[in-house]
Amino acid sequence: MKIGIDAIAFDVANIHLPIKTLAEARHIEPEKLEKGLGLIKMTLPDAHQDTVVFGANALTRLIEYHNIDLSEISRIYVGTESGIDNSKPVASFITALMEQKFGEDSLLYCDAVDFTFACIGAVDALQNCFDFIRLNPEKKAIVIASDIAKYDLGSTGEYTQGAGAVAMLVSANPKIIAFANEWTVSNKGVFDFFKPYRKVSKFLISGNDDNRPWFGNLESEIEIHKDQPVFDGQYSNQCYTDRTREAYFAFKKATGFEGSLYGSWSNIIMHLPYAFQGRRMLTEIFALDASEKTLSADENPSEYQTKLKELAKTDSYREFVKQKLQPAETASSLIGNLYTGSIFMGLLSALCDALHNNRDISGTKFGFLAYGSGSKSKVFEGEIQPEWKHAISKAKLFETLDNSTEINFDTYEKLHKKEQHFSVRSPKNEWVLDRIEQDNPNLIGARFYKWID
């Protein structure tokens, strides 16, 4: 029995800042970001958008484009690291909005939960749903990856920001891609990237040293949560490389594959914090798993790194990138980082690229190298199904990205600092954050959404 992704839809922020504009404002040579990292545009949420909005929009399109009967859906699982509540999951918000639009109690018997493990959370959700469908082949599930990648102004992660969601219908006998049963993992608990709660003395905020109540807070310390992470870029890159390498060779061993594993994949789909992250990180696997090995892990560390840099400039590696990596990079260049949605946007990008260029990829295998900081990698593979073209024909990925609205640097900073409270673009045929309750004591902080025709 085949199990995999039967349909896919997406929603991304429809406003963007050109990377060139950001580079010039930050006194960075634009070519370093454009040609070095593959960045062209950086999307960011408008005033009316958040993680729920993106996820709900993607799911609404999935339902409408593919005529999904909600009574057939047993699970709606969300992967995100941009949660808006410490108790109520994004999945709970989204199921309520679907019932608001498609009928009360239409998802009453549908399970809903969030998965959080940095950028790999939605992959975890997908694997969980595969196991569920394998035991219940007559049932269907939906996986949503919804995130907002936000970094501090002026930080080294600022130019990788992005926002959006991908929604996928998971079923037996899928139309797009069927996945093999073998998955491998590499996992270590490290601090390469994380979003901690930070504390500040109430005295520093209120000016009082007797711990008077401050906006309902009785504790002497105030906890502050920031959307922006604490991270070490170089260390995070090394963790990404190490976990991916370990999971890759574990997959090769588990499947008993002889020869170059990546050679059997027509496309390689990776988590892309920025468009060229995969090609910059994959040189080691390319060399170690080559049919004629040109690298040994036992070499002097300095010489080892030098050889990796030299390898990246060779014609063979450039051709490898062009054939197997580049199709998945295209959308990332125009969107930015989607955290949990990044790898699935890479899949959609590769599929739409093949459709646009009239390449028949039916029957070919895609390799997936997923990563989430903290840190964990999973490696798995899937086979493209005969009906893939029809199943993604309504996605209109690149047409949608071409319709994005450019903003100036001043507007970008105001939105980033939440100083602008009106939308750049007037919402149409989408969900919006309507209000956040401020008065009712039993609903303080509750977020309410509505559909705009």
Note the pLDDT of residue 344.
98
Domain hosting residue 209, numbered range? 195-225
As a whole number, mean pLDDT of residues 301-325 equals 89
Confidence of residue 295 (pLDDT cuts 50, 70, 90): low
Same domain, 344 and 414: yes
Confidence of residue 106 (pLDDT cuts 50, 70, 90): very high
Same domain, 211 and 296: no
Confidence of residue 290 (pLDDT cuts 50, 70, 90): confident
Same domain, 302 and 386: yes
CB contact set of 39 (below 8 Å; sequence gap of 6+):
19, 33, 159, 160, 274, 275, 333, 336
As a whole number, mean pLDDT of residues 388-411 equals 96
CA 128 – CA 106 distance, rounded (Å): 23
Where does a domain end: 225, 244, 267?
225
As a whole number, mean pLDDT of residues 270-299 equals 84
Evaluate the CA torsion angle 314, 318, 321, 324 in order and state its sign: negative
Note the pLDDT of residue 213.
85
Same domain, 205 and 57: no
For residue 86, give Cα distances in angstroms to 81, 432, 444: 12, 21, 14
Flag whether pLDDT at 429 surpasses 80.
Answer: yes
Flag whether pLDDT at 381 surpasses 90.
Answer: yes
Same domain, 397 and 335: yes
Flag whether pLDDT at 1 surpasses 70.
Answer: yes
Flag whether pLDDT at 286 surpasses 70.
Answer: yes
Q: What is the pLDDT of residues 131-187, one digit of tens each?
A: 999 999 999 999 999 999 999 999 999 999 999 999 999 999 999 999 999 999 999
As a whole number, mean pLDDT of residues 312-334 equals 95
Same domain, 296 and 352: yes
Flag whether pLDDT at 202 surpasses 90.
Answer: no
As a whole number, mean pLDDT of residues 5-34 equals 97
Same domain, 89 and 136: yes
Same domain, 287 and 338: yes
Flag whether pLDDT at 245 surpasses 70.
Answer: yes
E strand or H helix at 55, and its extent?
helix 51-65
The pLDDT > 70 percentage for the chain reads 98
Parallel/antiparallel/unpaired status of strands 73-79 and 111-115: parallel
Same domain, 344 and 210: no
CA 117 – CA 185 distance, rounded (Å): 13
More confident residue, 10 or 297: 10
Secondary structure of residue 1 in the 3-state scheme: coil
CA 287 – CA 308 distance, rounded (Å): 8
For residue 431, give Cα distances in angstroms to 11, 61, 415, 435, 452: 11, 11, 19, 12, 6
CATH number, residue 112: 3.40.47.10
Flag whether pLDDT at 307 surpasses 90.
Answer: no
Note the pLDDT of residue 291.
60
Query: ∠ at Cα 199 (194, 200), nearest 5°?
Result: 140
Do you know the residue count of the chain?
453
Note the pLDDT of residue 362.
97
Where does a domain end: 203, 225, 247?
225
Q: State pTM to two decimals.
A: 0.96
Note the pLDDT of residue 422.
93
Same domain, 217 and 305: no
Same domain, 360 and 426: yes
Total domain count, the chain: 2
As a whole number, mean pLDDT of residues 394-420 equals 96
Same domain, 220 and 90: no
